[in-house]
Structure 1
Amino acid sequence: MIDPVVNWAGFALAVLLIEMTPGPNMAWLVTLTLAEGRRAGLGAIFGVALGLTANAALSVLAASLILAQGPALTKAVSVLAAAMMAWLAWEAWKGSGESSPAATPRQSTERHALAGFAINLLNPKSALFFITVMPQFIPDGQPGFGEGLTLAAISVSIATAIHLTLVLLAEQARGVLMAEARARIVRRVLALAMLGVGLWFLAKAFVA
């Protein structure tokens, strides 16, 4: 049974903010779909989802071991979480990340899936985000393995839903997606929201 004291909705919102911000996965899936079709995009989504799942599971295990060491580390993780959100906010604000269609390789569907898996399994930013941000939504800052896996499932589900929506709508939404001025506004609004979450994490670290 899901523990009501865990802030599931808050965690889902934080993940949603991150996933809605244009980044490498989003850019790759959109440009891949536009260049090679929906089937290529769906194959890539499958690989990305598997990679994110494996990355999140390993991160849950790491977080459980690290945070069990004591309250000092829990507070340090809150500070790292604030720094992580500030970093992601800065990246969103300046619009970093490769989004050029020319950067999209032409490969088979299976290779797209394998590439998506490998990139996301080995992505240190995803692991760091999960290890530092996940505990902020658990009252004692020390997630159990079951709670961590449930949060991981929420994170992967939200990411996959957004990726699937992007691929399915890539052709129809091409004008919107490629309008840099509009994309810049969206990135900066999300960046400010992420910065606000980061400030909350920082306050949490020093206000007992």
Structure 2
Amino acid sequence: MVFPVDPAVLLPFLAAVVLMEITPGPNMSWLALVSLSQGRRAGLAAVVGITLGLSIWMIAAAFGLTKVILHWPALYHSIRWAGVGFLLYLAWDAWRSNQGAAQDVPPVARQRQLFRRGLIGNLLNPKAALLYVVLLPGFMRAGYGSPLSQALLLGSLHVLVSVALHSIIVLSASRAGGSFLTRHQGPVTRALMSLSLVAIAIWTAWQTRL
């Protein structure tokens, strides 16, 4: 039985994926902020949403659907600016919570909200789509599985690596933020969260330009 992908490409592929994932980006920054401000369970709920969003883009890329974005720059930029706008909305929502009682929201409801935000944020990130379009073909070889099976296997490996690294970020940030949160809950902390999200939105707009 022929292995679906060339075994010789697995280590280089994993190395490339790890290098990409440890490069600071919107997901990493947002997860750190969520985990610092709301704790481990909130951060892990966000990880699940991010992972689902990445998985949808990966499957779409494996079936060749995301190539449409390369042929329609207007579509790319529509998704791009929608993603930036969503981050700015999150910043505004964090700022408005200064006037409310965010702590009164039940933990389960807050985790569902973070799951949805992680999912929507990644579905509105066209770089996630282009990542698979650009990355996967360079590690696919003739004589092994079909292009679809190779793309799905390699893409799944990327998703697993992202889950592992995102979870490490959440666990590290939540530990670091535990003692801080017990002393510094209040408007200043939430205002810093809001300003950080604005910075992430600006950074995303710059990094996703073509």
TM-score range with shorter-chain normalisation?
Answer: 0.5 to 0.7
- CA deviation after TM superposition for structure 1 residue 13, in Å: 1.2
In structure 2, the partner of 1:81 is none
In the TM superposition, 1:152-167 aligns within 5 A as 152-167=155-170
- Gaps of at least 5 residues in structure 2 are 69-86, 95-101, 103-108, 178-210
Distance in 1 between residues matched to 2:172 and 2:42, nearest whole Å: 14
- CA deviation after TM superposition for structure 1 residue 8, in Å: 1.8
- CA separation of 1:148/1:57 partners in 2, compared to 1, >3 Å: closer, same or farther? same
User: Which one has a bigger Cα radius of gyration?
Assistant: 2
Secondary structure in 1 matching 2:64: helix
After TM superposition, the runs of 4+ consecutive aligned structure 1 residues lying more than 2 A away are 1-6, 63-66, 101-107, 171-174
Length, aligned pairs only = 140
In structure 2, the partner of 1:53 is 55
Higher helix share: 2
Distance in 1 between residues matched to 2:15 and 2:118, nearest whole Å: 24
Determine what percentage of the aligned residue pairs are the same residue.
33
- CA separation of 1:39/1:5 partners in 2, compared to 1, >3 Å: closer, same or farther? closer
TM superposition score normalised by structure 2: 0.59
In structure 2, the partner of 1:37 is 39
In the TM superposition, 1:168-207 aligns within 5 A as 168-173=171-176
- CA deviation after TM superposition for structure 1 residue 117, in Å: 1.1
- CA separation of 1:104/1:20 partners in 2, compared to 1, >3 Å: closer, same or farther? farther
- CA deviation after TM superposition for structure 1 residue 39, in Å: 1.2
In structure 2, the partner of 1:22 is 24
TM superposition score normalised by structure 1: 0.59
- Gaps of at least 5 residues in structure 1 are 67-97, 175-208
- CA deviation after TM superposition for structure 1 residue 113, in Å: 0.4
